[in-house]
Amino acid sequence: MEKLQSTLRADINKFPESTSISDGNVYTRWGRTSCPSDDTETVYTGVIGGGHYTHSGSASNYLCLPNDPQWDQTGLSANSVGNIYGTEYETSSSSSFKNLHDKEAPCAVCKATTRNVIMIPARTTCYSGWTLKYSGFLMSQHHSHAGNKDAICVDASPEVVLDSSSGDQNGALLYFVKVQCGALKCPPYVDSKILTCVVCSK
């Protein structure tokens, strides 16, 4: 048994640490067509997709759909399905970003060389010991819509999809998220304030 354990330890030590699948961390930079240029590798770029805002089924999260999709070659088809749509910014009522309204939103999937990446809502800076990847605003589906969506951190300098239309095609939508006091205590929160966010690495 001791000989077997010794052999296993020797085999494990042959693999360099850099091959560990835990090295680095993957995150999505919502609202941008590229990753930060510091210590981050771009895995792929794409467009934000999600379930239609009026549908109570289909995807309940936003997805970063790649710009170069590949298709099944077997001829698969189906009639009872979930649907995926492109995502438009809904910013006409905001004090800023009106120029984004009804334009399609891009995304980039990024791999950081650091081991940990976290999105922190309601912050404009990272906590001590963490490095800022990007800052932005929490965005999600409108509170009255049938389809719930995750809140995502959209970059504070958002871009639009190349050749984006200004038409109101709808689909999945992105609205700013604001504070509602009550069970959420004010202070420290402030009623009706738009929530910020940061993505940080360590």
- Specify if 15 maps to a domain: no
Residue 8, pLDDT above cutoff 50: no
Residue 108, pLDDT above cutoff 60: yes
- Specify if 14 maps to a domain: no
Virtual CA dihedral for 179, 117, 47, 84, nearest 10 degrees? -70
Cα 14 to Cα 5, 10, 75, 81, 117: the distances in Å are 15, 7, 45, 48, 28
Counting Cα atoms < 13 Å in the Cβ hemisphere of 113 gives 7
Domains in the chain: how many in total? 1
pLDDT tens profile 64-107: 999 999 888 898 888 888 888 999 999 998 888 888 988 999 99
170 — pLDDT class (breaks 50, 70, 90): confident
pLDDT tens profile 110-168: 999 888 999 999 999 999 999 999 999 999 989 888 878 889 999 999 999 987 767 77
- Specify if 150 maps to a domain: yes
Burial 156-174 (b: 16+ CB within 10 A, else e): bebbbbeebeeeeeebbbb
User: pTM of the entire structure?
Assistant: 0.82
> Could you tell me the residue range of the domain that residue 38 belongs to?
25-66+83-201
- Specify if 159 maps to a domain: yes
pLDDT tens profile 12-49: 344 333 333 334 589 999 999 999 877 789 999 999 99
Cα-atom radius of gyration of the chain, to the nearest Å? 21
- Specify if 78 maps to a domain: no
- Specify if 13 maps to a domain: no
Reported in sequence order, the residue ranges of the chain that DSSP labels E, i.e. its strands, are: 25-30, 40-50, 63-66, 85-89, 106-112, 117-121, 131-140, 152-155, 172-176, 196-201
Query: Distance between CA 177 and CA 143 in Å, rounded?
Result: 9
Query: Distance between CA 160 and CA 33 in Å, rounded?
Result: 8
Helix, strand, coil percentages for the chain (3-state, nearest 5): 10, 35, 55
Residue 59, pLDDT above cutoff 90: no
- Specify if 11 maps to a domain: no
Sequence-distant (≥ 6) Cβ neighbours of residue 69 within 8 angstroms = none
- Specify if 6 maps to a domain: no
